[in-house]
Amino acid sequence: MSHSTTATTASTSSASLLHPALVKQALAQSIAKLDPRIQWRNPVMFVVYVGSLLTTGLWLASLGDPAVAGGEGSGFMLAIALWLWFTVLFANFAEAMAEGRSKAQAASLRGLKTKAWAKKLEKPQHGSSWHPVQSDELRKGHVVLVEAGDLIPLDGEVIEGVASVDESAITGESAPVIRESGGDFASVTGGTRVLSDWLVLRIAVNPGESFLDRMIAMVEGAKRQKTPNEIALTILLVALTLVFLVVTVTLLPFSLFSVEAAGSGTVVSITALVALLVCLIPTTIGALLSAIGVAGMSRMMQANVIATSGRAVEAAGDVDVLMLDKTGTITLGNRQASRFLPAPGVTEMQLADAAQLASLADETPEGRSIVVLAKQRYGLRERALASLGAHFVPFTAQTRMSGIDLQTASSPLRSIRKGAADAIRRHVEAQGARYPAEVQQAVDDVARLGSTPLIVSDGSRVLGVVELKDIVKGGIKERFAELRRMGIRTVMITGDNKLTAAAIAAEAGVDDFLAEATPEAKLKMIRDYQSEGRLVAMTGDGTNDAPALAQADVAVAMNSGTQAAKEAGNMVDLDSNPTKLLEIVETGKQLLMTRGSLTTFSIANDVAKYFAIIPAMFVGVYPQLQALNVMQLHSPASAILSAVIFNALIIIALIPLALKGVRYRAIGAAALLRRNLAIYGLGGLVVPFIGIKAIDLILVGLHLV
């Protein structure tokens, strides 16, 4: 099986929430995670773990001494103990499922790591002698030769040559990419394969430090560090657990005193107190918190983005400034012909016809767009160059023009040229002709709009201007509007002059722009925003982007970019798609929304449990508490057991939501809070009432209580 097929299969498998292989593995891990050293890492669930041990010990003791069970009976104690163990196991299962998806992704990447032979050069140049070495013997700074069919042994920089490289094993994209020395496309990744030609590489990392090694470490949940928000939430959950622990412990002496003072009633049992504690502490979110974090990184991986840590994913959710490159992100990247502006005495169709003729052999995106526009506007069809007696004149940096010479037996020579305004002006004035002032005015107007003017001439006659426009991507303005509603400020970065940048920024609907951008200017802008307390995200692929990427809170480096950019960023986009930054922010916000929604649901759950357990435990001492039994539960034992069973089952019910994430909506913070409270707050209040009552009816119907 090919690497790309293997990666695709693993990705598909990991995408399934309840894939049988993952479920089987997670069930085994649920048992393995009962190790106290693992349980201790989650304080909330550790309390449940200790409660399970305690109730199990009491049940075993009740088998030898029935008096230990009191009036509840050893069967009740066994049922409580079993469901507490189920609660712990279900929490372990949720975490194991999330980790299993990450480990499946890591396994597919680990399969790409193969020991390969490399051709180590004696001198850093093509043609020098080489000798074979294994890839794990290479070190940073070594120079190797890779030829067609060879695997690239380790990450490196191209110092000589140009070649087509298959990166499908890493990115999943089947189309090969060109890697060459110099520029922003000199970085290569270990494990990819050269398809044609040859490259001389300088190894950039030592074995075990490659991009593939870092990817494997990043996607394995076991190496995930808790994020600041997750740590803060854990502290809150621990504080709530301690409060309820103190309250529960004091209930036993309070119960003893009340029974002694009243001279009647039943003392609350330790089993019931443990059940009360487990139901009141935030076990639902405590059980799912780790799974939510791991699943967030897993979702990022499914989007073909490698995050160096959970911190980067979470920071993406808190970002309030997005800095985006203009070319390829906001615009299509290729200028397109948008309109014809004829000179006085020239019709628009004449200009379009000449412009199309001059572009027939021009394979650049701009040239092809002129042919297409002339066809769309005037139905002008492409013509065969041979039938026109045509000779194509290619563009050169010296003339800054291109065009076509036409001559047939029945017609005189036509010399059609298109190029920059000053180049065409020199061309026609050299022939003694006048350059029309009206054309110069049109050139200035086009430039003022942020477009590029292209002048067309036929011999010494200037025919007019073709406007080449940097086309803003469809739908991008609406996406920026969504981000604005979320409170995120968008900033366009471009090397264009301020006039051009302002025109494109206005059309795209960004909030701000940085024109004539330099590495220093990008860095200063990021620091200025951060000094205002904002979190900044940006994309980059070049070495000149590295300082800004290192400074940004969320820095997405393109996989096709330089090694310096990838090392400076805290995320790497395997697809090298600059617009992925928008998806990254959405994934980060989905992580925060999921955690917030399930926390709201978990805390709201406790209210219903009060009405189930408190009356059941103390109605023997205070009969007036029967008024709080709004669910009309069958008996105290049924009420306690129903609450414990619901507490365990709700964890299993919420695992798919924790792994998949709460659906992301681009709405403001206030609207999001209202929606969160309406769905998960109200739902957290209503669902337990229904669930606990249903379980009570089932237990009574089966005569289990």
* Residue 594: other Cβ atoms inside 10 A: 26
DSSP state of 124: S
* DSSP track, 40-93: TTSHHHHHHHHHHHHHHHHHHHHHH-GGGGTTT-HHHHHHHHHHHHHHHHHHHH
DSSP state of 478: H
Does residue 67 have a known ligand-binding role? no
Interior CA angle at 640 toward 636 and 644, to 5°? Answer: 170
Known catalytic residue at 325: yes
Nearest to 658 by CA among 160, 95, 90: 95
Does residue 401 have a known ligand-binding role? yes
Nearest to 237 by CA among 309, 290, 296: 290
Does residue 29 have a known ligand-binding role? no
Does residue 418 have a known ligand-binding role? yes
Separation CA 461–CA 429 (nearest Å): 10
Separation CA 542–CA 544 (nearest Å): 5
Separation CA 94–CA 89 (nearest Å): 9
Does residue 222 have a known ligand-binding role? no
Does residue 366 have a known ligand-binding role? yes
Does residue 541 have a known ligand-binding role? yes
324 Cβ contact list (under 8 Å, min separation 6): 330, 490, 491, 492, 493, 510, 538, 539, 578, 581
Alpha-carbon Rg for the chain, nearest whole angstrom, is 35
Does residue 331 have a known ligand-binding role? no
What is the amino acid identity at position 692?
Answer: I
Nearest to 53 by CA among 42, 61, 64: 61
Residue 118: strand, helix, or coil: strand
Would you state the structure tokens that stand for residue 19, as one six-digit string? 């894939």
Q: In whole angstroms, what separates CA 393 from the centre of its chain? A: 47
What is the amino acid identity at position 214?
Answer: R
Q: In whole angstroms, what separates CA 682 from the centre of its chain? A: 30
DSSP state of 345: T
Does residue 593 have a known ligand-binding role? no
Q: What is the 3-state secondary structure (H, E, C) of 15-44?
A: HCCCCHHHHHHHHHHHHHCCCHHHHCCCHH
Separation CA 405–CA 389 (nearest Å): 8
Separation CA 330–CA 347 (nearest Å): 34
Does residue 266 have a known ligand-binding role? no
Active-site choice (155, 213, 325, 573): 325
Does residue 6 have a known ligand-binding role? no
- Contact yes or no for 156/204 (Cβ under 8 A): yes
Interior CA angle at 366 toward 364 and 370, to 5°? Answer: 115
Binding site membership for ATP: which residues? 362, 366, 395-402, 418
Q: Which residues are catalytic?
A: 325
Binding site membership: which residues? 362, 366, 395-402, 418, 541, 545
Binding site membership for Mg(2+): which residues? 541, 545
